[in-house]
Structure 1
Amino acid sequence: MFSEVLKNVKNNTPLVHNITNYVTVNDCANILLACGGSPIMADDIEEVEEITSICNALVINIGTLNSRTVESMIKAGKKANELSIPVILDPVGAGASKLRTETTFKLLEEVKFTVIRGNMSEIKTVGKANINKTRGVDANEDDSLNEDNIEGAVKYIKSLAKKLSVIVAVTGAIDIVTDGSKTYLIRNGHPLMSKISGTGCMLSSIVGAYCGANKSNFLEATAAAVCSMGLCGELAYEKMKKNDDGTSLLKAHLIDYISKLDVQILKEGAKLEIK
């Protein structure tokens, strides 16, 4: 199903501009190289438009906000919109502080996003249903996705995607990717992925690469990215368990498996439901 998406990434080496956080910036660069893309990081207002204009996608991540970079994000986002370059928003910790929440809403007002990717608490903040209820950068326990509440969650996320005219990707125990009409439920991944920093940020960068290389098919590109990350997380966990490794090597194994991922591995390992 995702074979064309994956081939386009490998064949086109999409250049992805990341305005991201300093906790995970190196991880985002390495995961982009591993998946077949190419990273560039620039957040100074004097160069963000120029950098964005040569890229295939822009990823805006609010994980370590400051007043200087907010204006850079807006400026880069507007340039991407002007040039029809896909823009991905990762509203890290939206709802945890006034600055993060207000910045999220300001970005949504100023920039047209292609994809918004976050956990359920962050996405509910985007939809103004969860203000000031986010548990740091993690989802609240009340917002965890499971088989009992997935139908209600899908209904809410589809409605939000339609309202904002954007693809919404919610990641958790079960992942939801929708444009408001077609929805992918993805059951790949492993709980231990939450015990290493940067998996969400890395995924948002991969979404950037996949969308940048598949500009006529953003929904499938996003779903393929989410599925790829989850599957490689599963494979990384199995290798970690076999070798009796710790979580620092889980991250290394994850990046390794992203670099080795091909159409056959993805086809055999994808756990998908289309609604």
Structure 2
Amino acid sequence: MYCKNCGRQLKEGTRFCDRCGQSVRKNNQNSQTTKRKEIEELKAERLNRKRRLQEKEAKQVRNKKRRKSKGSVMIFIIVALLIAIVSVIIGYNMMAPNDNGLGTAPTSTNSPASATNMPTDTANNVSSTSSPSNSASKNGYSKMTISGVTCVYPSTFNSNPTTGNQKLNLTDALGGATMTVSQEGKSGAPSDLMRDYARQTGGEVSYSRAGDDWYAVTVTTDDTVYHRKCVLKNGIAVYYDFSYSSMTSTAQKYTEYIDYMDSNFK
């Protein structure tokens, strides 16, 4: 046994240290107090360690929930953006003025190539009858309006620079046909204007029709077919000219185009 105060070795049964006079019982009491204190500190340390572990786990759970919440928000934002983009694309396509894609214009019984009502004016091959009337789909055609006159034309034709009174200049890369839409100031009877056009072309009239404010005429020169449809409004003549080779493999298609465009050029 040793003195807890000065460290001197004590004899068995000694009640006081013979060096410093410290009570041996007090030393024992101090030793027990120290042990209890150490035990309490160990318990407190274990509790603190357990509490820190619980706090760490709770923090990890909160972080996981926060990350999951952020991920959900990002997914929602991405989906919303995709919906907005698709809506814009759909809206743009719905507002597009042209009907793209090649369609086949229905054949009319009054088409220039198959007209059975030939001109009644034998001197000039001119007649004044009503305009052909067709009920047809607009697939394969685009549309434009000039001075209140509506003109449809094949969507597949290529656009070229215009000159003079031209408002539209088109060519067909497949069959070689050309089409122009023009506007100019002009007055007079439609039948007289039709005769002037036929004389200027210098060919054989195969089809001619005229009304109160319009005329349509087809003239063939050698192997080339020329067709014009004209509408007159308030001293303004709006017309389209369509020409093609009668030898081309697409000649029948062109007669269908002319028939459809005549019915919708008004």
* Length-normalised TM-score, structure 2: 0.23
Larger helix proportion of the pair: 1
The normalised TM-score by structure 1 is 0.22
Structure with the largest fraction of strand: 2
Q: Which has the higher contact order (CA 8 A, sep 6+)?
A: 1
